[in-house]
Amino acid sequence: MSVEETKDKLYDLLIIGGGITGAGIALDAVSRGLDTVLVEKNDFASGTSSKSTKLIHGGLRYLKQFEIALVREVGRERAIVHRLAPQLVKSEKMMLPIIKGGSFGKILTSVGLMVYDVLAGVEKADQRKMLDKEETLKKEPLLPEEIVEGGGLYAEYRTDDARLTIEVIKTSTQFGAKCINYMEVEDFIYENNSVIGTKCVDYITNEKSNIKARYIVNAAGPWVDELRQKNKSKQGKSLHLTKGVHIVVPHEKLPVSQAIYFDVPDGRMIFAIPRGRVTYIGTTDTDYHGDKNQVITENKDAEYLVDAVNNTFRTVNLKVEDVVSSWAGLRPLIYEEGKSASTLSRKDEIFESKTGLISIAGGKLTGYRKMAERVLDMVVKKYKNEYGKSFEDCSTDEISLAGGKFNGQNEVVDYTESIKKQLNKLDLDTYYAEYLVNNYGNQTNVILEKINDFDDEDPEIKLGRAELWYVVNSEMVFNSLDYFARRTGRLYFEIDTIEKLKEPILNDLKDYFNWDSAKYKYEMAALEEAIYLASEVFK
């Protein structure tokens, strides 16, 4: 998508921000028939939408805050998003151990989980199961016998936030939306006191351009207020940013047998979630006033999470040095007088400025589809009133996401088995079947068909290069971090594979984009820095 193509057009809708919120809005808009363009200043999902706990969840803890409507809406959304992308949004049981002196006693856990099931509309077979002490310890032998009193098992869904965002973006482009990464909105253009466009800079071509649209939505996550400031409309409610850190350890260092949600001595709760060869643990929740473009894990964040693990899992003796990777993100929450970071509401709100800029903030990954529906209901109503034109109703609950045309989780399992057979023939560990199917769904075939075009001796390098070829050609990848962090998740979950992949991947990128040696060096340094920030800076 070049700047040229957007120059003389008047779009129906321009969306600023290519996180899950903007992506969801783009898909809803284009599938209703609006001529839609989305611009993202960095890579898609490079903001908060690659830094979450990666759960499509109802937010059990919001029950404690009596956020009934929020729990109901996001709880019900889980099943829908699972149906739209069963390879990417996978049903998984979460364990809530009942610990002597912990947040929830047996009765509260049982009633709480039951209310959660009802609000979220969980099917009978999947509803909460209460376990006695023995059953709990059998399911999770790592829990300390002396303080465990029982447990609850409840339904959650696991995902990859960045992949979900990318697949929503790709689906919206299949419907005809123009989605452009590495293009920043620098300012707004006005006519008769109404905002009619944006001034943009394209970091790939270094060109400036204007994009015009009838309606403009600011879905810039933690940067929403910056754009409201530029629009001179930052009055009334504003954002309150809180930082959330996750750390990653090799699975053998915290060998939990399933996802678990457990107490921290300060009264909060955190998750430990096994994924492939690692377990990730999070999250922290602290007020943030630093640089929004570089949020890093600090020693105190890692210590907090390590201490919380050691407090519950008393035999593991985890150390900060065991951490192999991490990520830190910002929650774009809405400020409420006198409320602390972890008690602020997670619900979304829409603001419209006097000049017509529509901003959306707050919310959750899980609720992206409903948030988009609310924004578009508002936009099409205005369109009807102002231009007399009608559009279709929201139908995104029926639109399968790219890579996700599976009829339920069983088909995903069968497909994964077929991929294992192909991997065997390619001398690749069958471990990669889950990795590939979770990341690319049924697009895995395209990648595997490409593998033998590469003549490296090591099949893992061939696989990495085939993935790169795919994401450069189909997912607007421009540099190694787009690839290692957002498209493949290797920076977080397979960081030890980067050492042998970095040169072949950068060499291929050099060829694909005609980089000179200075650009190659710059990109290699950027990758080394990202590895350092994810895995070392806090030690």
**Contacting residues toward ligand FAD, per CB under 6 A:** 16-22, 39-42, 46-49, 51-55, 57, 184-185, 219-223, 227, 244, 283, 329-332, 363-366
Task: Using the minimum distance from each CB to ligand FAD, give the nearer residue, 58 or 151.
Answer: 58
Task: Using the minimum distance from each CB to ligand FAD, give the nearer residue, 160 or 494.
Answer: 160
- Burial class, 378, CB count within 10 angstroms (exposed 0-12 / middle 13-18 / buried 19+): middle
Task: Using the minimum distance from each CB to ligand FAD, give the nearer residue, 46 or 535.
Answer: 46
In angstroms, what is the minimal distance from the CB of 461 to ligand FAD? 30
In angstroms, what is the minimal distance from the CB of 37 to ligand FAD? 12
Task: Using the minimum distance from each CB to ligand FAD, give the nearer residue, 52 or 497.
Answer: 52
In angstroms, what is the minimal distance from the CB of 82 to ligand FAD? 13
Phi/psi region, residue 533 (left: phi>0; alpha: psi -120 to 50; beta: rest), is: alpha
Q: Are 353 and 233 in contact (CB under 8 A)?
A: yes
- On the CB side of 101, how many CA atoms lie within 13 Å of its CA? 7
Task: Using the minimum distance from each CB to ligand FAD, give the nearer residue, 19 or 112.
Answer: 19
In angstroms, what is the minimal distance from the CB of 106 to ligand FAD? 26
Task: Using the minimum distance from each CB to ligand FAD, give the nearer residue, 240 or 331.
Answer: 331
Buried-state track 130-148, b at ≥16 Cβ within 10 A, e below 16? bbeeeebbebbebbeeeeb
Helix (H) or strand (E) holding 461: helix 459-474
In angstroms, what is the minimal distance from the CB of 482 to ligand FAD? 12
The amino acid that residue 338 corresponds to is G
- Burial class, 287, CB count within 10 angstroms (exposed 0-12 / middle 13-18 / buried 19+): exposed
In angstroms, what is the minimal distance from the CB of 239 to ligand FAD? 11
Q: Are 52 and 76 in contact (CB under 8 A)?
A: no
Task: Using the minimum distance from each CB to ligand FAD, give the nearer residue, 150 or 222.
Answer: 222
Phi/psi region, residue 378 (left: phi>0; alpha: psi -120 to 50; beta: rest), is: alpha
In angstroms, what is the minimal distance from the CB of 346 to ligand FAD? 7
Residues 6+ apart with CB under 8 A from 407: none
Backbone angles phi, psi at 31, to 5 degrees: -75, -15
